[in-house]
Amino acid sequence: MKFYYTILFIGLLVGTFSCSGSSKKTDEKIDLKPYKTGQNKFVLTHMNGKLLDKNAEFRIHENQWELDMKNGDKVYFDIISKDEMDPLCGIKTVDSFKDTCEICATVEEDKASINLIYAKGTMTYDGYFDK
């Protein structure tokens, strides 16, 4: 529950974020090649530019993604729609707290970034993709 309030507080600090774009709702599995579901993970070292006390993990599963803060807090994201052209961005989800969230992950060489885009703000996690 403490993590949920942290999310809300950070969201309020970041400000209102409006997201435009279309995502086609589908029941198809998300093609995450070369990202193997459940086996590979994002290791997150920073949140909104600040070093995390412990590295967090963001795991990709077929229809549910998981953010494990490694302090007992976990947030699950159930995928409800996706961007057909980009399997790691434009992912519309509902999190464990029943809030809608769009996820956009980017991977460039040895760096990775995860944006969790909520109606009240965006949280940006930085780190690397662990193969």
pLDDT level of residue 19 (50, 70, 90 thresholds): very low
- Render 44-98 in DSSP notation, one character per residue: EEEETTEEEEEEEEEE--SSEEEEE-SSS-EEEEEEEEB-TT-TTEEEEEEETTS
DSSP state of 24: B
pLDDT level of residue 20 (50, 70, 90 thresholds): very low
d(CA 52, CA 5): 17
The reported pLDDT for the residue numbered 47 is 97
Cβ proximity of 124 and 48 under 8 Å: yes
pLDDT level of residue 67 (50, 70, 90 thresholds): very high
d(CA 10, CA 4): 10
* Between residues 20 and 92, the one the model is more confident about: 92
Cβ proximity of 87 and 79 under 8 Å: no
Beta pairing, strands 41-47 & 121-130: antiparallel
pLDDT level of residue 49 (50, 70, 90 thresholds): very high
pLDDT level of residue 23 (50, 70, 90 thresholds): very low
Nearest to 4 by CA among 67, 65, 63: 67
The neighbouring-strand residues paired with 50 are 47
The reported pLDDT for the residue numbered 95 is 97
Nearest to 129 by CA among 14, 48, 50, 36: 36
* Between residues 113 and 63, the one the model is more confident about: 113
pLDDT level of residue 38 (50, 70, 90 thresholds): low
